[in-house]
Amino acid sequence: MSKSALVILAQGAEEMETVITVDMLRRGGVTVTVAGLDGSDPVLCSRQITLVPDKSLADALTEKQQYDAVILPGGLEGSDRLSKSSVVGTLLKEHENTGKIVAAICAAPTAFVAHGVAKGKRVTSYPTTKDKITSDYSYVEGERVVVDDNIVTSRGPGTAYWFGLKLIEMLTGKEKADQVEKGMIITGY
Amino acid sequence: MSKSALVILAQGAEEMETVITVDMLRRGGVTVTVAGLDGSDPVLCSRQITLVPDKSLADALTEKQQYDAVILPGGLEGSDRLSKSSVVGTLLKEHENTGKIVAAICAAPTAFVAHGVAKGKRVTSYPTTKDKITSDYSYVEGERVVVDDNIVTSRGPGTAYWFGLKLIEMLTGKEKADQVEKGMIITGY
Q: pLDDT over 90 for what percent of chain A?
A: 99
A141: number of CA atoms within 13 Å, CB side? 9
ipTM: 0.98
Instruction: Assess whether pLDDT exceeds 90 at residue A163.
Output: yes
Range of the domain at B123: 4-184
Q: pLDDT over 70 for what percent of chain A?
A: 100
Q: What pLDDT was estimated at residue B187? A: 94
B187 shares contact with chain A (CB less than 8 Å): yes
In a domain, B24, yes or no: yes
Q: What pLDDT was estimated at residue A54? A: 98
In a domain, B189, yes or no: no
- pLDDT tens by residue, A33-47: 999 999 999 999 999
Q: What pLDDT was estimated at residue A34? A: 98
Cβ distance A181 to B187 less than 8 Å, yes or no, reads no
**Quick one: average pLDDT of A96-112?**
98
- pLDDT tens by residue, B103-114: 999 999 999 999
Alpha-carbon span B120 to B110, nearest angstrom? 14
In a domain, A189, yes or no: no
In a domain, A65, yes or no: yes
Instruction: Assess whether pLDDT exceeds 90 at residue A134.
Output: yes
Instruction: Assess whether pLDDT exceeds 90 at residue A90.
Output: yes
* pTM for this model (two decimals): 0.98
Instruction: Assess whether pLDDT exceeds 90 at residue B1.
Output: no
CATH of the domain at B65: 3.40.50.880
Q: What pLDDT was estimated at residue B75? A: 98
- pLDDT tens by residue, A7-20: 999 999 999 999 99
Q: Which of A5, A6, A34, A106 is catalytic?
A: A106
- pLDDT tens by residue, B131-183: 999 999 999 999 999 999 999 999 999 999 999 999 999 999 999 999 999 99
Instruction: Assess whether pLDDT exceeds 90 at residue B43.
Output: yes
Query: Can A45 be counted among the known catalytic residues?
Result: no
Using a CB-CB cut-off of 8 Å, the residues of chain A touching B46 are 23
Q: What is the mean pLDDT of chain A?
A: 98
Q: Which of B9, B69, B106, B114 is catalytic?
A: B106
Sorted by sequence, the CB contacts under 8 Å of residue B38 that are 6+ apart come out as: B10, B11, B56, B57
Cβ distance B143 to A189 less than 8 Å, yes or no, reads yes
Please give the residue of chain A at the shortest CA–CA distance from B42: A52
Phi/psi for A176 (5° steps) reads -65, -40
- pLDDT tens by residue, A65-89: 999 999 999 999 999 999 999 999 9
Cβ distance A23 to B127 less than 8 Å, yes or no, reads no
B34 shares contact with chain A (CB less than 8 Å): yes
Cβ distance B158 to A189 less than 8 Å, yes or no, reads yes
A44 shares contact with chain B (CB less than 8 Å): no
**Quick one: average pLDDT of B183-187?**
97
In a domain, A43, yes or no: yes
Instruction: Assess whether pLDDT exceeds 90 at residue B65.
Output: yes
Q: What pLDDT was estimated at residue A6? A: 98
Number of domains in chain A: 1
Contact residues, A window 148-167, toward B, CB-based 8 Å cutoff: 155-159, 161
Instruction: Assess whether pLDDT exceeds 90 at residue A1.
Output: no
